[in-house]
Amino acid sequence: MPRRGSWPPLLGLYAAALAGATVADAPPPAISLHARGIGPLALGAPLRIAAARTAVLVPSAALIGPGCDEREQNSVLLRIAGIPSTVMAMAGGDGRIEEIIALPASGAAYSLPASACRELGERYADALRTTLGVYRPLPPRANPASEEYRLKFDHGAEVVARWFAGGGTCDLALHFGGRTASSPAGASGTSGVPSSGL
């Protein structure tokens, strides 16, 4: 989850991007998934340069502004591993990307038991393992209003399935960096933008 903000407000950006895609009536462009992020949007990369490179596919990706937690971020609808997703990249004070979140455009599922939410998370992780490698389950994390089921890939990315007992709601996200990372963003070879990430 974002370290200084919260996941729910970010869903507003997701809804706006998805609405724009619906109006355009065109599928989002495909982009590569790798251990450090999604296309040019990679941990440790300068956000403005990475966003400009992503804008080759989606012009709106060049738009950068303060997010709900005041970090600079951009939000763009892309297709990763065949899954339409809203991708958000957040930068730290040095302007480099320190967190990336991808939200599947299928949205949340409702009226599910916790076990079904966990299974949805596993299915999502299975769709990404060809690129991200083997994953392992981490201990569930209990929050005041939800439970988190986390699946961690070898290179540090995590799939998070959140289940809310009140309505049986389940939402999914793929995280790079941020609170879920085992080491600081950019700690190992993340000082630049990949030369080819599109």
**pLDDT > 80? residue 20:** no
At 116 the pLDDT is: 96
How far is it, in rounded angstroms, from Cα 88 to Cα 60? 12
How far is it, in rounded angstroms, from Cα 62 to Cα 26? 19
Mean pLDDT of 161-184: 82
Per-residue pLDDT tens over the stretch 135-168? 999 999 999 999 999 999 999 999 999 999 999 9
Structure confidence at residue 190 as a pLDDT band (50, 70, 90): very low
| E strand or H helix at 131 | helix 114-132
Contacts 24+ apart (CB under 8 A), 81-86: 81/33, 81/127, 81/128, 81/130, 81/131, 82/30, 82/127, 83/124, 83/127, 84/21, 84/27, 84/28, 85/28, 85/174, 86/13, 86/14, 86/17, 86/18
pTM of the predicted model as reported, rounded to 2 decimal places: 0.79
State residue 159 phi and psi, 5-degree precision.
-95, 130
- Nearest alpha-carbon partner for 49 in 16, 118, 95: 95
Average pLDDT, the chain: 83
Domain ranges of the chain: 7-103, 114-180
At 179 the pLDDT is: 53
Q: Give the residue with greater pLDDT, 21 vs 172.
A: 172
Please check whether residue 66 is in contact with residue 13, taking contact to mean a CB–CB distance below 8 angstroms: no
Cα dihedral: 110, 116, 121, 127 (round 10): -100
Structure confidence at residue 95 as a pLDDT band (50, 70, 90): very high
Domain 7-103 fold = Beta-lactamase Inhibitory Protein; Chain:B, domain 1 (3.30.1450)
Structure confidence at residue 193 as a pLDDT band (50, 70, 90): very low
Structure tokens at 59: 């012009």
Structure confidence at residue 25 as a pLDDT band (50, 70, 90): low
Per-residue pLDDT tens over the stretch 35-86? 999 999 999 999 999 999 999 999 989 899 998 888 999 999 999 999 999 9
